[in-house]
Amino acid sequence: MSRLRAKPPFASYVKVASARVLYCRLVLHRRYGSFNHAVTRLRRILLAACALGCALALLGTTPAFAAVLDGDMIGGVKVADAPRLRARGMAPDLYVPSGVLSTMQGRILWARDPESQRAMASTTKIMTAVVVLEHGNLDDVITVDRLAASVGQSSMQLRVGEQITERELLKGVLVQSGNDAATLIAEHVGGTVPNFVKMMNAEAARLNLVNTHYVNPHGLDTPGHYTSADDLTTLARYAMTFPLFREIVRHHSLTVHSNRYTHVLISQNALLLTYKGAEGIKTGWTNNAGYCIVVAAKRGPIELIGTIMGANTEPGRAQQAKALLDWGFAHYRESRIATAGVTVGRVKVSDYVERTVAAVSPQTTSTPVFDIAGPVRRRIALDPSVAAPVRKGQVIGTETVFQGTTLLAQLPLTAGAAVPEPTAGQRFVFFFERIWRAVFG
């Protein structure tokens, strides 16, 4: 018969636990110097781990609210008025508060709250560059002063006393987004920064940017400094008409030189390195503006400009801009609207009794078509008749191509074959044949 082992008294448990605690404190004391210091270290490690986890979650996830809004406009049609636009892929899934996607010719493919006035951050510098290109002398040499060198925030690290050309400063404005470069170039071109800002607002008025007002040339948050996604897109399209502007903004990095220093410029536009066909244009961030970008991309003959305002994170800004451009290139594509040599009708040759000539498309023609905007329609207008002789290739009509109310193209239609002038004998026969038909039908 086995004996039952008696349980140790409660005091024994307390002694064992106390010994283990003392042992742990001794180990921690030897390693970290004191128990309290060890706890502090552990707390810091846990806080750092939590912060890292939150940062990774912020970078790796996308806010899930309001991917498609009732107020979004697709090809000029409000989503709320066309339920079909909510079908998968018909509208871009974006979480930004405001934006626009436009063709380089000015056709708006998508828009969300495009006229709301918002802080614009360093996208301001698009207008700064435009004013410099229109009113400056790019070969002027400018000496860096204390005002420009002390602006702070984003900077190309200009130093007081160095001398640099206006052309190199313009690169610092657009690639590095240097607030120091923007201030210095504004002082030089405008005489003073306030005068330069007046020139910016005058240019905005000339371009009919009705929801835009500038207070500074760099974009740091200031009351009264605002634009809209629609205005910003219009301005970017205009800026891209300047060859030098196009040339500068396509670079992710550049090196410029002053009389003393070499400045390495790095763009914050990650799409220049990661997105096929990306051509620029400008990023920006401030507390009030959030993360903004105006991005241009070209694939084949299709060139689009996307504007994103108020994204929550820098990676989110790039993701949303990429999604918007992807959607645009998927739905706005080249489509053949005419094929060379295809007969679209026939035109009577008046010098003959029953002869006609084929009206054909003289060449194969393609044009961008926004497939969401509905079917493509053609209107053929042929001349009532044409007198001989008819030359092959002679214009005898037009073909007009529409998509909804949008004019896509207007193309000539030409004679597919030559028709000679009738001989005297033929004219004699045709004369009596016309009389016979007039009398006997």
Tell me what pLDDT residue 178 has. 94
Examine the pLDDT at 371 and tell me if it is beyond 60.
yes
User: Can you tell me the mean pLDDT for 149-168?
Assistant: 91
- Among 54-58, 81-85, 141-145, 393-397, name the one with the lowest average pLDDT: 54-58
Of residues 9 and 372, which shows the higher confidence score? 372
Per-residue pLDDT tens over the stretch 119-141:
999 999 999 999 999 999 999 99
Q: What is the dihedral of CA 168, 170, 176, 178, to 10 degrees?
A: 110
Query: Which pLDDT band, with edges at 50, 70 and 90, does 51 fall under?
Result: very low
Give the pLDDT of residue 22: 52
Residue 432 pLDDT > 80: no
Q: Is the pLDDT of residue 44 over 60?
A: no
Predicted confidence at residue 328, as pLDDT, reads 97
DSSP secondary structure, 193-220, as one string: HHHHHHHHHHHHHHTT-TT-B-S-SS--
Inform me whether the pLDDT recorded for 36 exceeds 90.
Answer: no
Q: At what angle do helices 35-60 and 10-32 cross, to 10 degrees?
A: 80
Under DSSP, is residue 192 helix (H, G, I), strand (E, B) or coil? coil
- Give the homologous superfamily in CATH for domain 339-440: D-Ala-D-Ala carboxypeptidase, C-terminal domain (2.60.410.10)
More confidently predicted of 249 and 86: 249
Q: What is the DSSP string of 134-149?
A: HH--TT-EEE--HHHH
What residue has token string 């008409």? 241
pLDDT band of 56, cuts 50, 70, 90? very low
pLDDT of residue 436: 80
pLDDT at 67: 86
Predicted local distance difference test score (pLDDT) of residue 437: 77
Residue 73 has pLDDT above 70, yes or no: yes
Active site annotation includes 298: no
DSSP 85: G
Least confident of 139-148, 152-161, 301-310: 152-161
pTM, to two decimals: 0.78
Domain 73-332 = CATH 3.10.450.240: no
pLDDT, tens only, 313-326? 999 999 999 999 99
Q: Among the options 98, 154, 155, 177, which is catalytic?
A: 177
Mean pLDDT throughout 319-345? 95
CB under 8 Å to 76, separation ≥6 — which residues? 108
pLDDT at 295: 98
Query: What pLDDT is recorded for position 185?
Result: 96
pLDDT score, position 19: 53
SS3 content of the chain, % helix, strand, coil (to 5): 40, 25, 35
Q: Is the pLDDT of residue 182 over 50?
A: yes
What is the band of 385 on the pLDDT scale with cuts at 50, 70, 90? very high
> Of 102, 125, 154, 155, which is the active-site residue?
125
Query: Can 177 be counted among the known catalytic residues?
Result: yes
> Is the model's pLDDT at 215 over the cut of 50?
yes
For 258, the token pair is 């002053």
Which residues of the chain does CATH 3.40.710.10 include?
A: 73-332
- Which of the residue ranges 4-18, 265-279, 281-295, 316-330 would you say has the lowest mean pLDDT? 4-18
Number of residues that this document lists for the chain: 441
Burial letters 202-241, b for 16+ CB under 10 A, else e: ebbeebebebbbbbbbbbbeeeebbbbbbbbbbbbbbbbe
Which pLDDT does position 23 carry in this prediction? 53
Residues of the chain with CATH 2.60.410.10: 339-440
116 is catalytic: no
User: What is the average pLDDT across 252-277?
Assistant: 95
pLDDT the model gives residue 332: 96
What average pLDDT score do residues 291-307 get?
97
CA atoms of 272 and 355, how far apart (whole Å): 60
Three-state secondary structure call for residue 1: coil
Please report, rounded to a whole number, the percentage of residues in the chain having pLDDT higher than 70.
85
How many whole angstroms separate alpha carbon 273 and alpha carbon 295?
13
Confidence (pLDDT) at 62: 39
Mean pLDDT rounded to a whole number for the chain: 87
**Annotated active-site residue in 98, 102, 122, 154:** 122
Q: Indicate whether 14 pLDDT > 50.
A: no
List the Cα angle 107/370/402 in 5-degree steps: 85
74-85: average pLDDT: 91
